[in-house]
Structure 1
Amino acid sequence: MWHTIAATSLSSWCSFAPSSLYNPPGLFYASSSPHPAPFISASLAGIEAMARFSSRAFPVGAAIFVCLLLAVADLAASSNQGSQEEAPRCRFRRLSANRPFRRIQSEGGYTELWNENDKQFKCAGVAAMRNTLRPQCLSLPNYSPQPRLVYIQKGQGLIGMSYSGCPETFHSGEEYSYSRRTEEREGPREEEHERSQKRDQHQKIHRIRQGDIVAFPPGVTHWCYNDGNEDLVAFSITDVNSQWNQIGPTPRSFYLAGGPPKESETMEPARDIHAVNMIRPFDAELLATAFNVPAEIVRTMQREDERGLIVRVKKGSMEMMRPTEEERERRERDGRREEEEEVEEGRRKRDNGVEEIYCSSRIHHYLDNPGAADVYSRQAGWLHSIDVFKLPILRYLGLSAEKTNLRPNAISSPHWNNNFHTIALMTRGEGQVQVVDGEGRSLFNDRVREGDVLVIPQNFAIVSRAGNNGVEWVAFKTSATPTRSPIAGKASVFMGLPAQVIANAYRLSLEQAQQLKYNREDQSMLFPSGRASTAD
């Protein structure tokens, strides 16, 4: 008798378990559509009938088994609905080259934003931004829950990152005096100020320059200072769909200082990128106790600030420990040898705690280096890739980058990207680009020029040709270990197919199929402008 009662109770529990226990809100993606696929509906109905029957005819163990089947079917329905909702995200009738749609002016420069709600950026799961810092100006300390990869388009400067839990191993050259509040352990609370001499300690500061790729891990506070004599321009891609991000697919930056710039008729507000001093809302007395400083200092930190995201600094006020000029010259001098050493280091490196992963990790790599190119052709140009093997920290960002230089009228082989989306920034010159999908449509067939940003979805095929003055671009990739499939040339898809397969697939003669395979057999990815004439 107790078997029947328990089984009946268990069957009742199964009626709500799949939606409440096995699929709690937020754990699995579920479509808003109330109509699952017909075969899923039929399966659910059948299993529910089995569950009701088990309460009368089977013991508790059988009911548990049927209940688990019901949960699995419910998860399959949710997954199916979710995939149906997600599928249209990367379906396009056409692609377009993009330009910034918003500009935020600050005291020391400006920030340009591309429209993150554009369908192409939504497909790739990224947001694009460009910061321009005037000389002697500082981008204020901030952090983001999403990983970011930055390309330095112009200028030079200093970047610092503050990793929680890592030691402050660098010291500034000058000593300075400071006040420290002490508290008596007995008797009324009193404040006294003790004068001390101390050298400033901080984490490593990195020298960056034009052509560098810089990795910004999620949650790490960073700042940038332009100590050069020209503008520092940095273009960045943020992976809003990263597994590190738990707060929604919108690019967000949290600032520890500053505030939104004063609005004007020609500028939209900066509140949507959270350009608000996070220190301001805190209780001043509570924060003063946390820092062990007078409350006046905290109130000064909390003052309203309309300078924006980038501020001017007084001359001489940014003297600190910085990378030596000798180190920069050594980087320029070593070229290929240094890169080979870094690749070998990346292959040997394994996870060995916070010290190795973050504290001592390299965060930047020189991308504009033809001497270290992965593909080089004197007639066609060069291609230089940066992945997890050359910059190991990219493993935790899930991003990588590549610089391509095409000489006048040269061609980049038609290819598709196996495991990533591409976001390409045109950095010099102009050229012709064509992108096709798998449904027989040409989605983009137009000229691109310096400043354009083009998104190429995963598995869409692309071919590029330089203009009369050549063209260059930087490609950001949504994978730390990207692979692609060239259609023509050495190590291409056609080279791997038997000539007979090609001939029958396209109704060609065997001779024509062999021409497709072997006419570029000694050239990889980049082809010069000339084309050998062959008999029909």
Structure 2
Amino acid sequence: METKITVEKADLTAFEGDSGGYYVWSNAKTPLLSESKVAAGKLLLHPLGFALPHYADCNKVGFVLEGTITVGLVAPNSPEEKVLLIKKGDAIPLSAGVVSWWFNRGDTDAVIVFLGETSKALVPGQFTYFFVAGVLGFLAGFQSDFVGKTFGLDQNESENLVNSQQGALLVKLDQGIKFPEPSNHTKDKLYATVDDPSGKDVVKGGGFISFLTEKNLALLSDIGLSTKFVKLEGNALLAPSYVADGSVQICYVNKGSGRIKVVGSEGKPALDSKVEEGDLYIVPQFFAIAEIADDCGMEVFSVITCSKPVFGQLAGNTSVWKALSPVVLQAALNVTPESEQHFKSKNSKTITIVPPSS
């Protein structure tokens, strides 16, 4: 059966106001979201914008596209609030059920994209959020009679607690408000920078690939996700590969533009499309993908539905072409021994990113 892969920008506005906005990729526009049980959303926080405390029904990873954001995290049944300051290029894993709030204390907009899996979600292909405060919050839902009896408040106190916050998803706070500083006592590593090439798979003149897995961020093991960040210089190519463990890749173009080609089991492109900043696309299980940047270069952030993915390379000295015996390769490609030897010689070194031709 043919798999329809599309390239889309966020098409639904869940909220928009003077505090910022939250935007969603819908199942209607991108059916492969629900089919692959993944989802995506984008949060925009204007200066002093505050996302009210909430939790979600899905595991996901947030990637900061612009600005800096103060984040508060409270795990279920924990008396401790962990406060982080994350910046552009940082990725933060978020478990389902963990309460978080988000605040932009800076002078410029902050933007973060969330990519994750929805295998246990209320609606496959969508993140559903549950707010603890505001007009969409639990206090408002239980109303003053239950709230008063639960917390030992009189009628006026409980009604004030339930009704004083008239905001929904996002609110704008007053200038000069003092929010908590980042927690210095946090023992566990809760986020990581992924767009820094130091120590990563770097190809001179071509770009770099950075992976974030359970090996370098243990929290990813708990949520069953990992990330990949690819930066391609102008006209560089990311060599074809696939995820051999059957994981799905959900990919967001956060800078630049280029061309994406995805190939499935039928030996023809399932996707061959121009992409640009703000586009989202999904690579289904076992499908192979290659990317080539335009003159301006391209950056792609991906979340993979496995905390320790296994990638199968389709070029270079770790690829099937290098491993196959000569006679098998000749028979498979129906080529002469000379052609087979020439082709195999082209796979004698590591090929992940191919720089532009000089």
TM-score (norm: length of structure 2): 0.92
Following superposition, the deviation at residue 218 of structure 1 comes to 1.0
Which of structures 1 and 2 has the bigger CA Rg? 1
- Alpha carbons of 1:314 and 1:123: their partners in 2 closer, same or farther (altered >3 Å)? same
Determine which structure has the larger helix proportion and give its number: 1
Question: Structure 2: how far apart are the matches of 1:114 and 1:525?
Answer: 30
Match of 2:216 among 390, 395, 403: 390
Matching residue of 1:446: 273
8 A contact 1:423–1:477 mirrored in 2: yes
State yes or no: 1:505 paired with 2:325. Answer: no
8 A contact 1:405–1:472 mirrored in 2: yes
State yes or no: 1:282 paired with 2:282. Answer: no
State yes or no: 1:215 paired with 2:93. Answer: yes
Following superposition, the deviation at residue 323 of structure 1 comes to 4.9
**Deviations 1:214-233, CA, capped at 9 Å, x for gaps:** 11111111101111111110
**Deviations 1:145-197, CA, capped at 9 Å, x for gaps:** 211211111100211111233343xxxxxxxxxxxxxxxxxxxxxxxxxxxxx
State yes or no: 1:409 paired with 2:235. Answer: yes
Question: How much identity, in percent, do the aligned residues show?
Answer: 22
After TM superposition, list the pairs within 5 Å mapping 1:203-242 onto structure 2: 203-242=81-120
Matching residue of 2:12: 102
Matching residue of 2:317: 490
Ranges in structure 1 where 5+ consecutive residues have no aligned partner: 1-87, 169-202, 260-275, 328-358, 532-536
Ranges in structure 2 where 5+ consecutive residues have no aligned partner: none
Letter in 2 for 1:111: Y
**Deviations 1:42-84, CA, capped at 9 Å, x for gaps:** xxxxxxxxxxxxxxxxxxxxxxxxxxxxxxxxxxxxxxxxxxx
- Alpha carbons of 1:256 and 1:288: their partners in 2 closer, same or farther (altered >3 Å)? same
- Alpha carbons of 1:248 and 1:499: their partners in 2 closer, same or farther (altered >3 Å)? same
After TM superposition, list the pairs within 5 Å mapping 1:158-169 onto structure 2: 158-168=70-80
8 A contact 1:123–1:457 mirrored in 2: no
Following superposition, the deviation at residue 516 of structure 1 comes to 2.3
Following superposition, the deviation at residue 306 of structure 1 comes to 5.1
Question: Structure 1: how far apart are the matches of 2:153 and 2:189?
Answer: 35
Matching residue of 1:132: 44
Matching residue of 1:334: none
State yes or no: 1:428 paired with 2:255. Answer: yes
Question: Structure 1: how far apart are the matches of 2:188 and 2:155?
Answer: 37
**Deviations 1:247-273, CA, capped at 9 Å, x for gaps:** 4535311011223xxxxxxxxxxxxxx
8 A contact 1:408–1:529 mirrored in 2: yes
TM-score (norm: length of structure 1): 0.63
**Deviations 1:195-217, CA, capped at 9 Å, x for gaps:** xxxxxxxx221110001111111
Question: Structure 2: how far apart are the matches of 1:112 and 1:463?
Answer: 28
Following superposition, the deviation at residue 427 of structure 1 comes to 1.1
Question: Structure 2: how far apart are the matches of 1:227 and 1:96?
Answer: 36
Following superposition, the deviation at residue 299 of structure 1 comes to 1.2
SS in 1 for 2:330: helix
Task: Please report the RMSD computed on the Cα atoms of aligned residues, expressed in angstroms.
Answer: 2.1
After TM superposition, list the pairs within 5 Å mapping 1:186-201 onto structure 2: none
**Deviations 1:365-388, CA, capped at 9 Å, x for gaps:** 111111131x11112110000011
Matching residue of 1:418: 244
SS in 1 for 2:262: strand
Q: Which moved more, 1:312-321 or 1:207-216?
A: 312-321
Question: Structure 1: how far apart are the matches of 2:143 and 2:334?
Answer: 77
Following superposition, the deviation at residue 123 of structure 1 comes to 2.6
Match of 1:302 among 150, 162, 178: 162
Match of 2:69 among 154, 157, 160: 157
8 A contact 1:216–1:363 mirrored in 2: no
Letter in 2 for 1:367: V
SS in 1 for 2:141: coil
Question: Structure 1: how far apart are the matches of 2:166 and 2:144?
Answer: 20
Aligned length, in residue pairs: 354
User: Using CA pairs below 8 Å that are at least 6 residues apart, which structure has the higher relative contact order?
Assistant: 2
SS in 1 for 2:16: strand
Letter in 2 for 1:123: E
Question: Structure 1: how far apart are the matches of 2:345 and 2:183?
Answer: 50
Match of 1:470 among 297, 318, 324: 297
Letter in 2 for 1:405: K
Letter in 1 for 2:214: V
Letter in 2 for 1:114: W
SS in 1 for 2:163: coil
Q: Which moved more, 1:149-158 or 1:311-320?
A: 311-320
Match of 1:379 among 205, 211, 219: 205
- Alpha carbons of 1:360 and 1:146: their partners in 2 closer, same or farther (altered >3 Å)? farther
Matching residue of 1:311: 171
8 A contact 1:152–1:233 mirrored in 2: yes
